[in-house]
Structure 1
Amino acid sequence: MLGWCWGAVPAELIRLAVTSRSKRFSYLSTVAVTFGAEAAADESADIRTACPVRQLDGGYADGYGASKWAGEVLLRAAHDAYGLPVAVFRSHLILAQPRYRGQLNVTDVFTRLVLSLLATGIAPGGFYAGDGRTTGRGHYDGLPVDFTARAIAALGDDACQGYRTFNVVNPHEDGISLDTFVDWLVAAGHPLARVHDYDAWLDRCETALRGLLDRQRRYSLLPLLHAFARPARPLPGSALPADHFRAALRAAALNREDDIPHLTRELIVKYVADSRGQDLL
C-alpha cells in the first residue's frame, strides 16, 4: 500500500501508485471538502460531480479544505483511468490519545480551546446558537486519535479494489458537546465562570488571552479566535452521514464494545493534565 498522504496528492505520488503493479492508496482527507457542497457529503458520491468547483472565500481553513478537495478529484480520475484502488478518509477533529500521558497536539484548535478556557477562567453560557445548551442539541464531532488510526489502518488495508469514501466522524446523538466539556471541567474542580452573552464572552476572552504570558498566548486560541466569532449551529449529531464508515467498521470487528466510541469526561480532563505537563497551565 502506498504510504499515507496528508496533503494534496501530487501527480508524482499517483504516478508511483500506478507504476509496475497497482498499489492500494489511502488518502487522509477532511470533512471540509463537503463545506458548501451538500451533495459531496454522501459517501458514495463522486466528488467531481458533487462538487465540480471549489470556491475560496477566505473562511476558516479554506485553503486546507481546497487542497484536500483537489486531492480527491485527482484520485477519482486516477481510479477511473487506471483502476487504482483508493480509500478516502474524511476526518473531522482528531482528539488526543486517551490513555498515554503527554501525547497532546498543542497547536490544534481543540487543545487551544481547552487551554484558553482554563487560562482565562471564563466560558460562554453556551457555544451554540439559540438555546442549544438547555435543549441538548449541541454535538461535538471529534474522535480520539488511537481509534481513528486503527480504523484508517484496518479499512485502508482492506481496500484492494474500487474507490471508497468514509466520513470518519462521530455520529452519536448523545448530547455531548462543547458545553458538556465545560460542565465536565467544572465538575473536575476547574473554576470556570460562564458569561451568558456570547459577544461579551468573546470580547473578554480576547482581552484575557492578549494578557497571558508569552508561551500561553502562543498556544492559546488567540490566532484562531475568528473560528469562534459566532455561536455554532446546533446539531444532534454529525453534519455528515457515516453509514459506510460504520458498516465497514462493524464488518472489520474493530471494536467489540461499540463501532465508534463516545467522547468521555476522562479524555477531556486528561487535556488539563497534559497541558500542565507541557508547562501551559
Structure 2
Amino acid sequence: MYAQVLGVERVGIDDSFFELGGDSLSAMRVITRVNAELGVQLSARVLFDAPSVRGLGERLDRHAATEEAERRTGVGRPTFARVHGLDAVEVHAHDLKLDRFLDPALLAAAPMLPGPTGDVRTVLLTGATGFLGRYLALEWLERMTAVGGTLICLVRGASDEAARRRLEETFDSGDPELLRHFQEMATDHLEVLAGDKAEANLGLDEGTWQRLADTVDLIVDPAALVNGVLSYSDLFGPNVVGTAELIRIAITSKLKPYTYISTSDVGHQVEPSEFTEDADIRVVSPTRKLDGTYGNGYSNSKWAGEVLLREAHDLCGLPVAVFRSGRVMVDADHVGQINVPDLFTRMVLSVVATGLAPASVYKLDAHGNRQRAHYDGLPVGFLAEAIATLGAQEVDGFQTYHAMNPHDDGIGLDQYVDWLIEAGYPIQRIDDFGEWLERFEAALRALPEKQRQHSVLDVLMLALQGTEDPEPYDPVRGATAPADRFRAAVQKAKIGPANDIPHVSAPIIVKYVTDLQRLGLL
C-alpha cells in the first residue's frame, strides 16, 4: 500500500513513510485505504506517530485491543463522534463539557484542593521536542537551575532513556555552545519521561502519574499535533483529549496553574471586534464550522482546548494562562535551530530555491505601487521568555494573551524578500501575480525530490483548489487582533532585549536560508 501510494518499487518494514516521500495528503490517502480495506476507523494522525509499516501494524493491533476492551467494559475514551456526533459539520462549545472527559467526582472535589503558592520548583512541560517547546525547555531549565528545581519533560519514546536522547538531539543542531548549555543544566535539573499527552494517564504508569499529580507545581503545554491538512476529527484525540488528560492531572492532589499555547488562528471564525484578550471564547465563538479548508482542523482543536480550560477554571478554580501565538519565527542566536515543517520556512525555501517572487505579495494601490503591510511573527526566544514569565505569574485567575507582533511597521513579506535580495540571493521579481504563480508552481514541481517535499507546493495546491483567478493578499497593518494586554505585560515585566515586543529584522529572515543550507535543503 505504501509503495502504491508513493509510487516506489520497494518499502522496507521499518522505512518511514515520510522519508520515502510521503506528505500530509498522501498520508490521508493511505489511512483512507487502510480504513476501507480493514474496516477500521484510524485517524490520519496515527501515520505521523507510527510512520513505518511495522509501527502502523502495531497501532492496528492496539486499536483492535482497545475496541475489544471498550466492548467488554462498555467504557471508552472520548472521541469526536461521542462528543460532537459522528457526522457533525459544525461543533459547539456546549458539547465540550468536562464531565464528558473526566470523572464527575474528580471535578466535584477539585474546588476544595490546595491552591498554588506561587513557589514553582517542579514544572511539567509537554512538547519539548517541538520548536517552541525546546525553547521553553531551555527557559524553564534556566529558571529551575537558579532555584534548585526540576523540569520534567513528557516526550514520546520507547523508554525514558530513549525519550531523553530524543530531547537532547533537538539541541544538537550544530551549535556546540547551545548543546553544552543544555547538558550542563540537564544533568541535575531535568527529568525526561517517556509518555504522550494524548494517551490515557499521559502514557505513564500509575505510580509515576500519581507522583506528578502530587509534586508538580506548574504545567506548561505547547504540545499539539500541528498540521494544516488534518481535520478536527483527526486532531481531536491528540489536541483535545490530550488537553483534558492534562487538566485531569492539574486538578488532582492540588491545583496546578496551567499555561496553554493556543494560536491566533482561533480568531478566524470570530467577529474581529469581539476577538479580544478579555473575551470568553465560549461566548464569542460558541459554534465552529468544519469546512475542510487549510488550517481549519488545527485552529478548531485549539479552540476546543481553550473551551475545556475555561470550563476547568469555572468548575474547579484552575488558574490558566492562554497564549494565542502568531507566527513563531527563528531566533538569530542559535545555529541550526529552525522549524523545518513550518509554513513560513517552506515559503522561504520555495522562494530561494526557485528564485521567483511576485512584485508584491499584497494588492497594489490605485497607482500600482506596493502598499505598506505587516506580517505577524515573533522570534521564538522572546516568545518563550514571555510565556514562561507571564505564565508563572498566573496563580488564581484566567488570563488570555495575544502573543502577536502588533507593530504597524511596514515590515511584511515584501520586505522579507527585499532583505533576501540584499543578502545576495538571486530572486527575480515578477510584475504579474498570475504569471508569477504559474511559473512558481512549475518551478516547485521541477525541484529535486527532497526540496520539493519541504517546499510550499502541497499547501499551494490546497489553497488554489476551486480558485479560478487567485489574487494577492490584502495588506494588514499591525496585528490581526488587539494585543494591548500582552504588550503591557511584556513592558511591565521587562521581557526581551528592549523590554518590549520586538520587530522582525533582516538577520532573522536570512538565518532561515543559512540554516536550510546547513541541512542541505538549499
Q: Which stretches in structure 1 are left out of the alignment for 5+ residues?
A: none
- Bigger RCO (CA 8 Å, 6+ sep): 1
User: What is residue 22 of structure 1 aligned with on the other side?
Assistant: 255
State whether residues 263 and 325 of structure 2, in contact with CA within 8 Å, keep that contact through their aligned partners in structure 1: yes
Residue 395 of structure 2 corresponds to 160
1:88 paired to 2:329: no
Q: TM-score, normalised by structure 2?
A: 0.52
CA RMSD in angstroms, aligned pairs only? 1.7
1:68 equivalent in structure 2: 302
Q: Contact 2:362 / 2:472 at 8 angstroms: preserved in 1?
A: yes
Listed one character per residue, the Cα deviations across residues 4-63 of structure 1 (whole Å, up to 9, x for unaligned) are 243334322212111121100011000111112125520000000000001122222110
**1:258, CA displacement in angstroms?**
4.0
How far is the alpha carbon of 1:78 from its aligned partner? 0.8
**Contact 1:24 / 1:84 at 8 angstroms: preserved in 2?**
yes
2:513 maps to 1:272: yes
Match among 239, 245, 251 for residue 486 of structure 2:
245
In the TM superposition, 1:124-139 aligns within 5 A as 124-131=358-365, 134=369, 136-139=371-374
The structure 1 residue matched to 2:355, chosen from 110, 118, 121, is: 121
Match of 2:50 in 1: none
Residue of structure 1 in register with 2:408 after alignment: 173
Deviations 1:115-154 (A, max 9, x none): 1111111101111123399454211101111111111111
For residues 474 and 386 of structure 2, the distance between their equivalents in structure 1, rounded to whole angstroms, comes to 28
Which amino acid is 1:92 matched to?
G
Q: Report the AA paired with residue 314 of structure 2.
A: D
Residue 235 in 1 paired to residue 470 in 2? no
Structure 1's 220 and 276: CA in aligned 2 closer, same or farther, altered over 3 A? same
Determine what percentage of the aligned residue pairs are the same residue: 49
For 2:284 and 2:408, how far apart are their aligned partners in 1? 27
In structure 2, list runs of 5 or more residues that go unmatched. Answer: 1-217, 225-238, 465-469
SS in 2 for 1:54: strand
Q: Which moved more, 1:256-265 or 1:61-70?
A: 256-265
Query: How far 1:227 moved relative to its partner?
Result: 4.4
Cα distance between partner residues in 2 of 1:215 and 1:234: 33
The one of 81, 94, 112 aligned to 2:346: 112
Residue 2 (1) aligns with residue 219 (2): yes
Measured after TM superposition, the shift of residue 268 of structure 1 is 0.8
Describe the SS at the equivalent of 2:322: strand
Q: From 398, 404, 419, give the equivalent of 1:184.
A: 419
Shift of 1:253: 1.3
SS at match of 2:384: helix
2:347 and 2:456 in contact (8 A); partners too: yes
Return the match for 2:444 from 209, 216, 220.
Answer: 209
Given that residues 363 and 371 in structure 2 are in contact (C-alpha distance below 8 angstroms), is that contact kept between their aligned partners in structure 1?
A: no
Aligned match of 1:31? 264
Q: Secondary structure at the match of 2:400?
A: strand
1:51 and 1:248 map into 2 onto residues whose CA distance is 25
Q: Using the alignment, how far apart are the partners of 1:134 and 1:172 within structure 2?
A: 22
Q: C-alpha distance in 1, partners of 2:274/2:249? A: 27
- CA distance in 1 between counterparts of 2:267 and 2:477 reads 19
Alignment partners' CA distance in 1, 2:480 and 2:430? 27
| Residue of structure 2 in register with 1:200 after alignment | 435
The separation in 2 between residues aligned to 1:155 and 1:45, in whole angstroms, is 19
* 1:151 alignment counterpart: 386
Separation in 2, partners of 1:6, 1:168: 17
Aligned to 1:261: 502
Larger Rg: 2
Counterpart contact for 1:4–1:27, Cα < 8 Å: yes
Q: Give the alignment partner of residue 277 of structure 2, picking from 25, 36, 43.
A: 43
Write the distance in 2 (CA, Å) between the matches of 1:40 and 1:34: 9
Residue in structure 1 matching 2:286, options 37, 47, 52: 52
Moved more, 3-12 or 215-224: 3-12
Determine if contact 1:6/1:29 at 8 Å carries over to the other structure.
no
For structure 1, which segment, 25-34 or 9-18, has the greater mean C-alpha deviation from structure 2 after superposition?
9-18
Contact 1:34 1:40 in 2 (8 A): no
What amino acid maps onto 1:36 in structure 2? Q
The letter of the residue matching 2:377 is G
1:248-271 residue CA offsets vs partner (Å, 9 max, x unmatched): 111211135241010001111111
1:131 and 1:109 map into 2 onto residues whose CA distance is: 27
**Cα distance change of structure 1 residues 267 and 278 upon mapping to structure 2, 3 Å threshold:** same
SS in 1 for 2:288: coil
Q: Which amino acid aligns with 2:264?
A: V
